[in-house]
Amino acid sequence: MANTPLNFTDPDVIESTLRSGAKANREALCRRGSIDYIEAPGRLLATGDLHDNPIHLDRLIKAAGLDERSEQHTPAHLTLHEIIHGERLINGMDFSYRVMTRVAELKARFPNFVHVLLGNHELAQMQKSGIVKDGVRSVEAFSEGLEYIFGDHAPRVGAAVDDFILSMPLALKVHTARGDILCSHSLPPAAVMNKFDTTVLSRDLTDDDYAPRQGAAHLMVWGRGYDAEGLEDLVERWGVYLFIVGHEKATEGVAFVPPNAVILNSDHERGVYLPIDLDNPPRPEDTPKMVRSLAHA
């Protein structure tokens, strides 16, 4: 399927593309309340944080069979999250709205195969909250990039950015013969389970879910330090046998948290993705050996 290259300096193009992506997020057949839901058969390419790495995005699109040159008749399902706020600054400004717009365009073209999951950096950008990555005030750098490119049109482009973020599901749940797989940016740690609403995956999101340090969406995308006890609790509550997340640093691109969580990074030089045959899903402990490098994908 051929597509016209995006004009990244045209506010009308960027706004309409982001709005189309938001519409696809909300109206895709796979959307169920706060999550996307799919079932075997098929293939899944699970990823970690992307952080404005366009080369790795291109390689993921190709591996999933989502580009016009692909010979694959049925594409793979592809998760994407933490797509903005990278290291590629120009004069201190962040132009990662471009990769976000590419992802929105991809979602609009493949609404039931591309799954754009909410990350903490996207949520911070929408809420204009302070977040520092490698010494950079990420939200301010992103907003300054919009102002530099779009000038007086920056507010409406920014509103479209916020709409796309607000439309993102919290997770992708995949039903397989072995059990359910949950792909999300992160998971709530045991320390917050007393105030975390575990029903969030079975209902629509509300404004309260985004409340800092209180809402279920906020607690989930910012979660760190989950352990075996917390994972086993979520297994019982959500009926999941394998969790695939990002958010935390994995120097080698992948890290395993016993008994059943795998952390992926897709942004740095050792970034990876995890391909899964949904007819033959892996045991959790086997997933680290299955990842593929994005360095030469």
Instruction: Give the pLDDT of residue 297.
Output: 64
The mean pLDDT value for 105-109 works out to 98
Query: How far apart are the C-alpha atoms of 288 and 97, rounded to whole Å?
Result: 31
Q: 81 near 47, Cβ under 8 Å?
A: yes
pLDDT for 70 beyond 80:
no
pLDDT for 227 beyond 90:
no
pLDDT tens-digit readout, 17-69: 999 999 999 999 999 999 999 999 999 999 999 999 999 999 999 999 998 76
Lowest mean pLDDT among 112-121, 132-141, 265-274: 132-141
Instruction: Give the pLDDT of residue 1.
Output: 42
Instruction: Give the pLDDT of residue 15.
Output: 99
Show the CA angle centred on residue 40, arms to residues 35 and 44, nearest 5°. Answer: 70
Return mean pLDDT, the chain: 94
Instruction: Give the pLDDT of residue 71.
Output: 57
Query: How far apart are the C-alpha atoms of 83 and 220, rounded to whole Å?
Result: 17
Going by pLDDT thresholds of 50, 70 and 90, the confidence category of residue 72 is low
Structure tokens at 281: 């899903």
The mean pLDDT value for 192-217 works out to 95
Give the contacts of 124 (CB within 8 A, at least 6 positions apart): 130, 131, 138, 139
Structure tokens at 149: 């490119």
Q: 127 near 143, Cβ under 8 Å?
A: no
Q: 27 near 111, Cβ under 8 Å?
A: yes
Strand partners for 269 = none
Query: How far apart are the C-alpha atoms of 188 and 250, rounded to whole Å?
Result: 18
Instruction: Give the pLDDT of residue 67.
Output: 86
Residue 282's SS3 state is coil
Residue 243: which of 289, 285, 181 has the closest Cα?
Answer: 181
Torsion angle in degrees (nearest 10) through CA of 113, 119, 123, 124: -140
Length of the chain: 297
Q: Is 130 exposed, middle or buried (0-12, 13-18, 19+ CB in 10 A)?
A: exposed
The domains of the chain are located at 11-293
Structure tokens at 288: 């680290």
The CATH classification number of 11-293 equals 3.60.21.10
pLDDT for 2 beyond 60:
no
> Which residue type sits at 116?
V
**Phi and psi (nearest 5°) for 65?**
75, 30
Query: How far apart are the C-alpha atoms of 118 and 127, rounded to whole Å?
Result: 13
Give the contacts of 267 (CB within 8 A, at least 6 positions apart): 48, 49, 50, 51, 52, 53, 56, 82, 86
Instruction: Give the pLDDT of residue 164.
Output: 99
User: What single DSSP character describes residue 190?
Assistant: G
Query: How far apart are the C-alpha atoms of 61 and 59, rounded to whole Å?
Result: 5
The mean pLDDT value for 223-243 works out to 91
Q: 271 near 54, Cβ under 8 Å?
A: no
Long-range contacts of 28-32 (CB under 8 A, 24+ apart): 28/107, 28/111, 28/112, 29/111, 29/112, 30/111, 30/112, 30/115, 31/169
Comparing 114 with 189, which gets the higher pLDDT? 114
Instruction: Give the pLDDT of residue 135.
Output: 79
* pTM for this model (two decimals): 0.95
The mean pLDDT value for 94-102 works out to 97
Q: 244 near 262, Cβ under 8 Å?
A: yes
Instruction: Give the pLDDT of residue 127.
Output: 96
Instruction: Give the pLDDT of residue 190.
Output: 84
The residue to which tokens 């201190």 are assigned: 92
pLDDT for 288 beyond 60:
yes
